[in-house]
Amino acid sequence: MTFFYARFVIVWACWLLFADKKRWKEIFPVCIFASFLSLISDQIVYFYITYWEYYGIEPTIIRILMDDFGVYIVVTYLFIQCLPQKQTFFRMFSYWFAWTALAITIEYVHLITGHMAHYNGWSLWHSYVSDWILYWIFYQYHKIFQLEKLSK
């Protein structure tokens, strides 16, 4: 149980330490979008097709909300904040690779500590591909709506 509380505190401590808080108007809409997507996926995974499950905290709603308003918001915020200025193919590929590696590492820690399990054929590779897609969606959301103009 303390695993998830500690993770929540660590995540928000990272935001307090590393986030450029002056850009919150620009970046926060993408974070809300990420939380919305995670709430939808949680509903699908928990009530229709179970691909993964977390262990170690009850009631489940607290853990779900800690994910949706902790990890997803902070990781998305820092991902958008740290986008490379010069966005060449190699830089963006490397950037996506690094962030998806971080996300998979977090999931791997959950798996090896027994706080998470995969079901119905889901694996770390599925999560890895999903992370690439999600980061691309968040990047496009930010780019399409030109949210960086809000901070100027």
Mean pLDDT (the chain, rounded): 87
Measure the CA–CA gap between 129 and 82, rounded to whole angstroms: 21
HSE, side-chain direction, 13 A CA sphere, residue 148: 10
Q: Residues 13, 8, 101, 142: is their CA dihedral positive or negative?
A: negative
Q: What is the pTM of this model?
A: 0.86
Task: Decide if pLDDT at 1 tops 90.
Answer: no
Task: Decide if pLDDT at 42 tops 80.
Answer: no
What digits encode the pLDDT tens for the residues 103-137? Answer: 999 899 989 999 889 999 999 999 999 999 999 99
In the chain, where the domains are located: 2-151
Buried b (16+ CB within 10 A) or exposed e, 94-116: ebbeebbeebeebbeebeeeebb
**Three-state SS at 122:** coil
3-state helix, strand, coil in the chain (%, to 5): 75, 5, 20
Mean pLDDT of 45-70: 77
pLDDT of residue 59: 61
What are the start-end ranges of the H helices in 48-123? 60-66, 72-81, 89-112
pLDDT of residue 147: 58
**Omega prior to 84 cis, within 30 of 0:** no
